[in-house]
Amino acid sequence: MTGKLDGKVAIITGASSGIGEATAFALAAEGAKVAIAARRTERLDALAKRIEASGGQALPIVTDITDEAQVNHLVQKTKVELGHVDILVNNAGIGVFGTIDTGNPADWRRAFDVNVLGVLYAIHAVLPLLKAQKSGHIVNISSVDGRIAQAGAGVYSATKWGVNALSEALRQEVSKDNIRVTIIEPGLVDTPFIDLISDPITKQLSEEQLKTITPLQSEDIARAIIYAVTQPEHVNVNEILIRSTTEDN
């Protein structure tokens, strides 16, 4: 594959399905070599084969984003195998929904481990490489819930507000190093993410909402990411909020 990202190397976390899978394929279609990370070996291998069958280059690396040592290994293996790192897409995330009074603190900890600490681990691991080469782009997948808190999504919203806050602070910290930072904030996307909602009431509401609107697709989010990372080097697209046209919240 050849395109606007020829010669670039990208790491995508949560790449085994949904937005991560679509983004990995889209980046490869633009010529980037992609290191794809997730916990599900079989799905990573299948994605790597699909990318390579289309003429791209993919390096599958099984990674638990909540394990700092594994995240460091992901970044270092990418550098060794693919030569360098230019783009990091922090996509791995989980949803925790339901009211706070009925919530499970263990689920809350897991959500912050994945959605906030996992993002920080990856940023922390890749920054020395990006600073050394005085270039790079970090894309953090947040959510519309990172801008508007809603009843029943308080903990999830808190994690995504955290992503937005650390992203803006990071942008200010690394601008002098010619490193760009982008937040992507999707609304309702038709992905396996909904299947992972543990609260039955929230899951039912999400499924009903899917029937009443035309939801976003993973490829819609991937196109937004491609838009951000293919801008001229002096252009930093800081934030992209994406909703379905028929989504009213």
Q: Distance of CA 172 to CAs 86, 142, 208, 236, Å? A: 19, 18, 40, 12
| Angstrom distance (rounded) from CA 197 to CA 233 | 38
Q: What is the amino acid identity at position 96?
A: V
Contacts 24+ apart (CB under 8 A), 67-74: 68/121, 71/118, 71/121, 71/122, 71/125, 72/121, 72/125, 74/11, 74/13, 74/35, 74/37, 74/122, 74/125
| Angstrom distance (rounded) from CA 213 to CA 59 | 36
Q: Which of 97, 156, 161, 193 is catalytic?
A: 156
Judge whether 227 counts as a catalytic residue: no
Which residues are designated catalytic?
156
